[in-house]
Structures are given as C-alpha cells and as structure tokens.
Amino acid sequence: MVYKPENPVIVQSDRSILLETNSPEFESARDALASFAELIKSPEHYHTYRISPLSLWNAASAGLNAEGIIQKLETYSKYDIPQNILQDVRDYVARYGRLKMIKEESGDLILVSDDEFLITEITHNRMVQQLIEVQLDKRRVQVKHGMRGRIKQALIKIGYPVEDLAGYIEGDPLDLRVREITVAERPFALREYQRDAVEVFYAQGSSHGGSGVLVLPCGAGKTIIGIGVMEKVRQHTLILATNITALRQWRDELKDKTSLTDKDIGEYSGEVKDIRPVTITTYQILTYRKKKDDEFVHMELFNLQNWGLIVYDEVHLLPAPVFRAVADIQGKRRLGLTATLVREDGKEDDVFSLIGPKKYDVPWKVLEKQGWIAKALCTEIRIPLPEAKRLEYAVADAKAKFRIASENPAKFTVVRNLIEQHSDDNILIIGQYINQLQLLAEQFDAPIITGKTPNKDRERIYGDFKNGVLKRLIVSKVANFAIDLPDANVAIQVSGTFGSRQEEAQRLGRILRPKSEGNFAHFYSLVTKDTKDQEFAANRQLFLTEQGYRYKIIIENSEKGDNTPV
C-alpha cells in the first residue's frame, strides 16, 4: 500500500474525502477537490467533501474526464484510492453523454445511445415510458412533442443525465452592442475572465453551448457577463431577477453599457407591465397567483415574445413553480448566473437538467488575488445568552430556541463596539427578524430597509448610502438579493436564516466589490454561543470555506458582550 504522509487528502470508500487544513498543500488540494466534489462540513482541522453523481456530471460537462479526476485524487491522497471510488468515478463520468438528444430535420427530438441495453432500460422505466412517442430502433427513441425538459428531468433522477444537442429555436433579432465608452463617459470593456465565461457559454453558437450555469462570486460582474452573452446571441431576451431593485439595476446597466435605449427595455413588475425586445421581470411576479390553488397569473410571459435567450439571475433562488415553465421552453437558450449552486430545496438536479450544467466556475480567492474583488476578513463572534433568557430558551421548542438565540440582546453591545471600531467605514447591519432590526435602527439612528419599504424610499436610501450621505444602513433579507452597494466594506450579520449557505454567499457578496482605498472588507457574524444559533451558523460557514475563506472565531466571555475577546 502506498503511504504519502505529506499529502493532505484521505479518500474513503463511502465517497467521503478528508482534507487537512494545516497542510502546505491545503489550498491547491482544495481547489482540485472543488472541481468535482461537494463540501459537506468544515471544522478547524479536517474538511469533509463528498463525491456525488451530480458533482461528477458537472465536472464532466465542464470538460473534466475520469482519468483527470483520478489523477487529482492521486496527486494529493495519503493512501491508495479505494477501488470502488475509482470505479464510481469512471462509471458516473461515463454516464454523462451516453444519452444524447438531437433534433432531426423533421423537428422530431430523438434520444440516441450507442448502448442498446441502456435504451432498453429507459424504455422499460415507467417514469420515462410516458414521455416517449415511439422506439425507432435498438439505439433511438423519439421523444413526445413538448417533453424535452420533462424527459431530461426524469432521466437524471434514474441516473442518466442527457447531453442535450438538439439546438435552439432562434428568437427575434436584437441589435445590441456593448459600448467602449459608457453613457457616463467611462472606458468600458469586459475583463478577461468575463470574456472567457461568455465564450464558454456561447461555444461559437454551436449546440454544445447556449444553455448552462456560470458560477462567479458576488462582485465579479455577473450582470456584465449576462450583457456579454446578450451581445453574442443578439436576440430578444427575457431576464428574470430576484426583486425590483435587481430588475432596475439590470435596466440601468443595460442603458449605461450597451446601445439599447428606453424603447428597447421593458419592465414587467407589480408596477409596470411593459414588454419590449429586452424585458426584465422578477421571480415574485412569475409566481404570483390570487389564491393558493389558482394558476400563476404571469407565467405566460415566457410565451408572449419570441425570446431567443432567457437569463436566470441568481439561479440558485429559482422558485420551484418556475421549473415547470422552464421545462416547457427548452428550445430557448438559457443562461443561469449564480455565486453558488447550492439550493436549500435540494433541486440542484433540476437546475442541471432544465437550465443546463455548470459551464464555468472561478473561485472567489482567485479573483481576490487578481484584485477584482475585495479581500474579505471573516470573523464569528460568539456571545453568551444572558442569564435572564436561559430559562425561556431551555423550555422553548427548536424553532423558538433559534429565534431567542438569534435575537440575543447582548448582540447590541457588540454591534456598538464594532461601529465604534469601524467609525470611518460604510457599514451594513443585516438580520432576519424585523423587530430586532427596528430596535437596532432606533438605537444607532440608522435607516432601515425591509421588504415593506416602498421602492422609491429604497432607491433614495441606497442612493444616499452610495453617495456617502449615510455611513450605516440596516437591512433585512432584501440584502440577500442583488443589491449593488459598491462602497460597503463592513457587514455585521446579527441573525440569519437557519443554516442557509446561499444566504451567506449573498451577504458576504454585498461587501466584496473592489474598494477605492485599500482592498479589505470585514464580515462579522454575531452568534449566540452554545445554542441553535451557533449550530446553524456552522452550516452557513460552509459556503465561505468552499470559497477559501477561513473564519476567525472570537468568544466573548461576558453576556454583555463588552469584555475583551479571547
């Protein structure tokens, strides 16, 4: 048996992988593992990854082959790779592309495979049978009309991802050019990694491109990449954003950095229903219905224009009801943009099947080293629960325990200390519970933005913060979604959503835009020690660890939170 004690990785037969954090090879091994494995947990000394079918299929779709993955494992492993892992990697990677979908001149969609036994297997699966029109021969089946997305969903669930090469229906043409000088008379050009992402997605217009997900950090310019793709496609485009603020940021960027004008760009929101060659809407509008059992009123937007491209911003937040509509429009080019593929509802395989596989991924730390995003210093401050709250916490159910711990009043003193420490900085205070945020707003004389804040007021407050009129801003969960506050350089998270990794991604992203003076950002997470708050915080940390950040943990030794950290 081979033993290389200097290597940091242990590969185990249950598909888990342990990575030593104190090894000199930690960073390079982490980057290698991230290309084909999922991070499961990240305590101080060993991080745990897991190889899954979906992680391997995403790797395969991005161009990694089985031998390349095995070579990475062998490069960093202390011990021989278990035989079953070698076999799993080869087997699952080989499954990607064994089934291909093509379109014949007649317009019929055909599933083809060189493996006639695989065709036999899928034609005898009850989920798949109902989506097949007819078996043409031992290696080809015809897909029922309109079932392109549904059959891909069904097949990935039985372990056979489809490589979709059926191409696209061309949308109406759009004359769009990216400016070299913006409306604000600033020079403008896509950065090298942004151009690379566009080229990988578009793939010279071939059937190998045109659908998939681009994974880049918040602050890396995903909107600019979307604009670059639009310039390549040059067809009518529907953009789905997370909220009205994000919608208008897309509109403003398009007007500033492209040849499009007001007559080309439409807003389809709760306030305006204006359909233009480029139309921007929100997930909230698409999932609106008058009653719980009614049809979704605005889902027909997908069919109201001959769209050539549909952009799903923050695709990890794509609501489940929209997946049905996405399944019906597989003939359109589909671009997903996100900072993380992690979904709290576990529907990553639906994103893979219906939007497309991961096409491009650039780690946050890579862009940080290149100066494109700020360096982040992440600190978790653990604060005792006050004596007066301990009985209430002890007798509460799990959900109430989390809220009591999240709203720990001792956090207020820590917030005050941090505000004093960063008196010259631009500070975002972010939380989950409105009552807690309102108390903070009153105590620190800072404006607050919640989901109920009128859009005009939001835009005015955001504008004051961007212009330096405000140095502190308190925001609820609305801060999770595509808010552009480039000068924010300190975030204080007083409470979060249970264990949401995607939320941590968005909140950290609020402060990662490059800074004009220095390039450091501070992200503080205030956590109540030895409670449900601390348990869920451990899961939220996983996202930061995935991206190469390490948490510094400070423990306050007083329930008032005003002692020297130890």
Residues 137-187: tens digit of each pLDDT: 999 999 999 999 999 999 999 999 999 999 999 999 999 999 999 987 889
DSSP E strands in 138-177: the ranges are: 140-143, 162-164
Tokens read off for 179: 């400016």
Beta bridge pairs of residue 267: 280
Q: How far apart are CA 98 and CA 118, in angstroms?
A: 9
45 Cβ contact list (under 8 Å, min separation 6): 20, 21, 22
Q: How far apart are CA 562 and CA 566, in angstroms?
A: 12
541 Cβ contact list (under 8 Å, min separation 6): 42, 380, 504, 551
The residue whose two tokens read 């034609």 is 123
Q: Percentage of the chain with pLDDT > 70?
A: 90
pLDDT at 16 over 80: yes
Tell me, what's the pLDDT at 565? 41
Lowest model confidence (mean pLDDT) among 229-238, 428-437, 472-481, 537-546: 537-546
Q: Quick one: pLDDT band at residue 515, thresholds 50, 70, 90?
A: low
Q: Is the dihedral of CA 113, 118, 122, 124 positive or negative?
A: positive
Q: Quick one: pLDDT band at residue 516, thresholds 50, 70, 90?
A: low
Q: How far apart are CA 120 and CA 115, in angstroms?
A: 9
Of 198, 237, 235, the closest CA to residue 216 belongs to: 198
pLDDT at 542 over 90: no
Angle made by CA atoms 134, 350, 478, in degrees to the nearest 5: 150
Cα–Cα distances (Å) from 303 to 308, 310, 325, 329, in that order, read 11, 11, 10, 9
Q: Percentage of the chain with pLDDT > 90?
A: 60
Lowest model confidence (mean pLDDT) among 46-55, 356-365, 434-443: 356-365
Tell me, what's the pLDDT at 341? 80
Chain mean pLDDT for the chain: 88
Lowest model confidence (mean pLDDT) among 129-138, 242-251, 357-366: 357-366
Q: How far apart are CA 340 and CA 506, in angstroms?
A: 9
Q: Can you tell me whether residue 263 is helix, strand or coil?
A: helix
Q: Can you tell me whether residue 50 is helix, strand or coil?
A: strand
Residues 297-318: tens digit of each pLDDT: 899 999 889 999 999 998 988 8
Of 489, 539, 533, 526, the closest CA to residue 509 belongs to: 489
78 burial (CB, 10 Å; 0-12 / 13-18 / 19+) is middle
Q: Which residue has the higher pLDDT, 153 or 483?
A: 153
Q: How far apart are CA 36 and CA 85, in angstroms?
A: 13
